[in-house]
Amino acid sequence: MDIYKINTVDELIKGNTYVGRGIIIGKTPDSKKAVVAYFIMGRSANSRNRIFVERDNSVFTEPFDKSKVEDPSLIIYAAMRGYENNLIVTNGDHTDTIFDGIKSGLTFSQSLESREFEPDAPNLTPRISGMLTFKNNDFSYKMSILKSIDETGSDCARYLFSYPSKAGLGHFIHTYVCDGNPIPTFQGEAERIETENCIDSFSEKLWNALDDDNKISLYVRYIDLKNGEIENRLINKNK
């Protein structure tokens, strides 16, 4: 087993019907840009009734058809927000928890101490998070997963990963291993994933690798480390 192997998008996703929601953070092979991606999938009508929208450099989930919303509590949230030299991305309203925490002087991990996995038994969906911190034309990043310690949801296990940015390397964390009933949650360290210099190629490969029936939306952002210029790609299955 090669523990330092950098996997392609296809190797990690293709053929897997349900990996849930996923976050990828890394650096392009030419070391010029930071890479951030977030996608959502869904099995229920309520989950599938969503789109991504971008406002003021932040990304939000919103209902595609407001008349069909059943329960907005776990599906409508800010997915990506920036504060000063930090960029936050999560799979729920804990984006705002981290934002408020960083703003008040807490660290990334301290901000998450007040949160745990989602109250959606029997799945007990993990809360996944990432934050990039930019400094001196480079960046480092942290990722986290908060998940149930057992099948009953008796307590929360907290995992924090901290990475320097390295050319061509990204880390990928997602809520589920695969489909199931209940759905098995993500296991182990964030997966090593190959990045690309071209945002179009990377976005296309990621979107195409996701299961056609269950994928909903994808957002990819590249950030130039020299001048801060932002390049985005947003794909919604609901149009």
Residue 52 lies in a domain: yes
Contact present, 3 and 192 (Cβ < 8 Å):
no
Residue 1 lies in a domain: no
Residue type, 11: E
Residue type, 8: T
Residue 3 lies in a domain: no
Q: What share of the chain is helix, strand, coil (3-state, %, to 5)?
A: 15, 40, 40
Continuous segment of H or E residues that includes residue 36: strand 33-41
Residue 4 lies in a domain: no
pLDDT of residue 1: 75
The Cα–Cα gap between 56 and 82 comes to: 10
CA dihedral 30, 227, 170, 163 (to 10 degrees): 120
Contact present, 37 and 144 (Cβ < 8 Å):
no
Domain that holds residue 138: 9-236
Per-residue pLDDT of the chain (239 residues; tens, 9 = 90+): 788 999 999 999 999 999 999 999 999 999 999 999 999 999 999 899 999 999 999 999 999 998 988 888 888 999 999 999 999 999 999 999 999 999 999 999 999 999 999 999 999 999 999 999 999 999 999 999 999 999 999 999 999 999 999 999 999 999 999 999 999 999 999 999 999 999 999 999 999 999 999 999 999 999 999 999 999 999 999 98
pLDDT digits (tens, 9 = 90+) for 127-143: 999 999 999 999 999 99
CA dihedral 94, 96, 99, 103 (to 10 degrees): -120
- The two three-digit tokens of residue 218, written as one number: 């994808």
pLDDT of residue 199: 98
The Cα–Cα gap between 206 and 40 comes to: 12
Q: Could you tell me the CATH number of the domain that includes residue 51?
A: 3.60.20.20
Burial of 159 (0-12, 13-18, 19+ CB in 10 A): middle
Residue 75 lies in a domain: yes
Residue 152 lies in a domain: yes
Residue type, 72: P
Residue 157 CB contacts under 8 Å (≥ 6 apart), including other chains = 146, 147, 148, 149
- The two three-digit tokens of residue 91, written as one number: 């799979």
Domain count, the chain: 1
In Å, the largest CA–CA distance within the chain is 50
Residue 212 CB contacts under 8 Å (≥ 6 apart), including other chains = none
The whole model's pTM is what? 0.97
pLDDT digits (tens, 9 = 90+) for 46-74: 899 999 999 999 999 999 998 988 888 88
